[in-house]
């Protein structure tokens, strides 16, 4: 085993890494480590399988504290920019010095021992093998993503989507990151679509909602997403979901597109959320120049 790794790791330990480690994953395994890394799309595939998407979420959920700690390094200008080769000889000393200082003088990022933490971990383990019923009926041809949908004419009057608390949304998405991003993502979508989300209901089941939304990473890509909700349910207001995006088959939480629509439909419109217009006005002035 590598001498440096042997000081902090033992054979059989799990190395939770990001996709940037794909070229050295084999070396970790040769050293006796178990490697957990987010999945890659198979050649020709457009979406991760449900099992792959769930495994990926387990990995990223476990690794976020590492990424958060790394982000603290970038608050120092030296580590936020490209580092000159002249410092490579001493880079390990610089990293250890800063890491030790952060550990000593900054509050701990995550303890992971509260009842809520244990409850979330237990829930994620139980949901690890869960699949989407919506995805199954689509693949079987019993439900089409493009046909037999009816527009919602009077959204506020004739549409009874359940109110979702922030606590429910955090639990449903298995975290807080997507909820924090939802307002920004919703604002961008509303700006590009005349201040509206376009919704339809299934002709055969008015508790299945369809929405088409831009990709979070590409303005040229759009995805259909489906949400199965319970009009009267308070214990389980959201029964199922599915999205066409790369991670849309995930049932361990959900993708950012689903999270944004749930946040906007179930929470934001109930609290009279209005997207800020300062950035939009500035953008409008630039376009008119």
- Give pLDDT tens digits for 39-76: 999 888 999 999 999 999 999 998 888 888 888 998 99
Q: 123 and 191 share a domain?
A: no
Q: What is the mean pLDDT of residues 102-116?
A: 83
Pair (166, 223) in one structural domain: yes
141/251 same-domain check: yes
| Same domain assignment for residues 65 and 156 | no
State the DSSP code for 165: -
Q: Pick from 184, 198, 207, 193: which is nearest to 259 by CA?
A: 184
- Structural domain harbouring 19: 1-37
Is 287 a domain residue? no
**74 and 84, same domain (yes or no):** yes
Contact of 203 with 150, CB cutoff 8 Å:
yes
The number of beta carbons lying within 10 Å of the beta carbon of residue 32 is: 13
- Residues 161-188 have pLDDT tens digits of 899 999 999 999 998 888 999 998 898 8
- Count the domains in the chain: 3
| pLDDT for residue 153 | 61
Tell whether 126 and 137 lie within a shared domain.
Answer: no
3-class SS of residue 267: coil
DSSP, residue by residue, 51-65: HHHHHHHHHHHHHHH
Domain-located, residue 286: no
Select from 73, 103, 130 the last residue of a domain: 130
């Amino acid at each position: 085993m590598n001498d440096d790794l042997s000081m902090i790791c033992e054979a059989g330990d799990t190395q939770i890494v990001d996709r940037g480690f794909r070229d050295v994953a084999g070396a970790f395994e040769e050293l006796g480590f178990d490697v957990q890394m987010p999945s890659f799309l198979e050649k020709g595939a457009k979406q991760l399988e449900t099992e792959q998407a769930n495994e990926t979420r387990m990995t990223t959920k476990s690794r976020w504290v590492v990424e958060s700690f790394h982000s603290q390094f970038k608050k120092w200008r030296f580590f936020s920019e490209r580092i000159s080769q002249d410092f490579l000889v001493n880079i390990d000393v610089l990293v250890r010095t800063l890491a030790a200082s952060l550990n000593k003088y900054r509050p701990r990022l995550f303890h992971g021992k509260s009842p809520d933490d244990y409850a979330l971990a237990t829930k994620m383990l139980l949901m690890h093998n869960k699949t989407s019923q919506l995805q199954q009926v689509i693949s079987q041809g019993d439900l089409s993503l493009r046909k037999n949908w009816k527009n919602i004419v009077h959204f506020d009057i004739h549409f009874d989507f359940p109110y979702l608390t922030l606590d429910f949304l955090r639990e449903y998405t298995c975290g807080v990151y997507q909820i924090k991003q939802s307002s920004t993502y919703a604002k961008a979508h509303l700006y590009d679509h005349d201040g509206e989300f376009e919704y339809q209901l299934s002709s055969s089941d008015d508790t299945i909602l369809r929405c088409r939304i831009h990709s979070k990473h590409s303005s040229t890509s759009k995805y259909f997403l489906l949400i199965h909700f319970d009009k009267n349910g308070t214990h389980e207001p959201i029964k199922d979901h599915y999205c066409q995006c790369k991670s849309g088959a995930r049932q361990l939480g959900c993708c950012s597109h689903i999270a944004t629509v749930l946040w906007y439909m179930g929470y934001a419109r109930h609290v009279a959320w209005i997207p800020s217009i300062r950035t939009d006005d500035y953008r409008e002035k630039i376009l008119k120049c």
